[in-house]
Amino acid sequence: MAGRYIVGRVAQSVAVLFFVSVLTFGLVHAAPGGPAILLAPGMSGEQIRQAQHALGLDAPLPVQYARWLQNLLRGDLGTSYGTGLPVLETLVSRLPATLELAATALLLTVAVGVAVGVFSALRRGSILDHLATGATFFGLSVPIFWLALMLIITFSVAWHVLPAGGAYTLGAPASAGDRLAHLVLPAIVLATANVAQIARYTRSSMLEVLGADYLRTARAKGLAPRVVTYRHALRNALIPVVTIIALGIPRLVGGAAVTESIFSWPGMGQLAVDSALQRDFPMIMGITLMVSAVVVVTNFLTDLSYLVIDPRVKLS
């Protein structure tokens, strides 16, 4: 059963990635304009046509996609129009920074979101519950770019506590403390909306579970309140929350484009913005495919995590 399930999920994942690649390829080529290399000032019409032929952009769109797919099957994502470097090499160099930022934001999301949700549910109707609810509404509604600018103004410009951008201090020796200092603000900005969402879902799920009959039975047996809350209630309440966390991972990766641009974080998000502005088709395709693969793998691992949280769940 497990083997059949894994084979089925792999087939679904391949189909999803194929559909994403077709859709992205069509959209980027349908956008007005062309690669920045074709928009250089002073280029004549003949020079533009020669550049299009050299890049293969004068071929019909299905032929261009077939060539790209053929190269992909050989492990070649093409060459960037902007830098002239292999796309795969560039993505491999940028991916660790994005994963570092996304993983830190995810840890903040899970730790703070679940803690606030449980705390709010256990103190339902109290002043602290209302304050937590107001904070989550603020987190869900505040624009990312505004929050980022406010944090930079407060902690970097006014208080000089944290750096305003970059991944390390230029001219300073590399250290874990310096890296962490540069990571704090972008991770907080990236995690804010997800923390608020996880807190709301955790609170709602906990309130539903706390009123269940089996918890009343556990209390009647004399189990300690801490055991009832965390071993029985929280474990069952986390099942729908895990799904929300998995759905929030694409938001972390997508939100990184804005966050990395504001904080000059050298990851794939900033690279995606620059590539879109330059109409760097191979780089856009490579970034989209890699991000989609990360999301697909994450969703698969999330499904497997249900087996750990609730042994009653079966693979099918």
Does 263 share its domain with 206?
yes
Percent of the chain whose pLDDT exceeds 90? 47
- pLDDT at residue 155, as a whole number: 96
Q: Which of 45, 73, 101 is the last residue of a domain?
A: 73
What pLDDT sits at residue 100? 92
- pLDDT over threshold 60, residue 1: no
Q: Which pLDDT score, from 0 to 100, does residue 291 have? A: 85
**What is the rounded average pLDDT of the residues 138-153?**
94
Cβ proximity of 98 and 290 under 8 Å? no
Question: Is the pLDDT assigned to residue 178 strictly greater than 60?
Answer: yes
Q: Is residue 78 part of a domain?
A: no
pLDDT at 315 (0 to 100): 60
Mean pLDDT for the chain? 87
* CA 54, 60, 66, 72 torsion-angle sign: positive
271 shares a domain with 204: yes
Same domain, residue pair 191 and 266? yes
pLDDT band at 279 (very low <50, low <70, confident <90, very high): confident
Q: Is the pTM of this model over 0.85?
A: no
How does residue 310 score in pLDDT terms, banded at 50, 70 and 90?
low
Please check whether residue 249 lies inside any domain of the structure: yes
Q: Are residues 95 and 69 in the same domain?
A: no
Return the structure tokens found at 210.
């706390």
CA distances from 83 to 97, 153, 257, 290 (A): 19, 33, 19, 19
The predicted model gives 25-48 an average pLDDT of: 76
Are residues 173 and 37 part of one domain? no
Average pLDDT of the segment spanning 69-98: 92
State whether 120 and 268 are in the same domain.
yes
> Which pLDDT value is given to residue 191?
94
For residue 83, being part of any structural domain is answered with no
26 burial type by CB count under 10 A (0-12 exposed, 13-18 middle, 19+ buried): exposed
If you search the block for the tokens 């060539």, which residue do you land on?
67
Residue 56 lies in domain:
2-73
Residue 284 has pLDDT above 60, yes or no: yes
Q: Is 314 contained in some domain?
A: no
137-172 as b/e, with b when 16 or more CB fall inside 10 Å? eebeeeebeebbeebbeebbeeeeebbbbebeeeee
Nearest to 105 by CA among 181, 193, 164, 178: 193
Same domain, 107 and 211: yes
Please report the pLDDT score of residue 255 as a whole number. Answer: 67
Give the pLDDT of residue 41. Answer: 62
pLDDT tens profile 229-277: 887 788 888 888 888 888 788 778 766 788 998 999 999 888 988 898 8
Higher pLDDT, 14 or 304: 14
Is the pLDDT at 185 greater than 80, yes or no?
yes
Q: How confident is the model at residue 15 (pLDDT cuts 50, 70, 90)?
A: very high
Verify that 38 and 184 share a domain, yes or no: no
Residue 79 in any domain: the answer is: no
pLDDT tens figures, 188-218: 999 998 999 999 999 999 998 887 877 777 7
Residue 140, pLDDT above cutoff 70: yes
Local confidence band at 88 (pLDDT 50, 70, 90 cut-offs): very high
- Total domain count, the chain: 2
108 against 216, higher pLDDT: 108
If asked whether residues 275 and 219 sit together in one domain, one would say yes
Q: Are residues 112 and 255 in the same domain?
A: yes
For residue 104, the domain's CATH number is 1.10.3720.10
Q: Is residue 8 part of a domain?
A: yes
Q: What's the pLDDT score for residue 6?
A: 78
- Is residue 256 within 8 A of residue 268, CB to CB? The reply is yes
Instruction: Output DSSP code: residue 40.
Output: -
Q: Kindly give, in sequence order, each residue whose CB lies less than 8 Å from that of residue 56, ignoring residues fewer than 6 positions away.
A: 64, 67
Q: What is the mean pLDDT of residues 13-34?
A: 89
Per-residue confidence band for 34, with pLDDT thresholds at 50, 70 and 90: confident
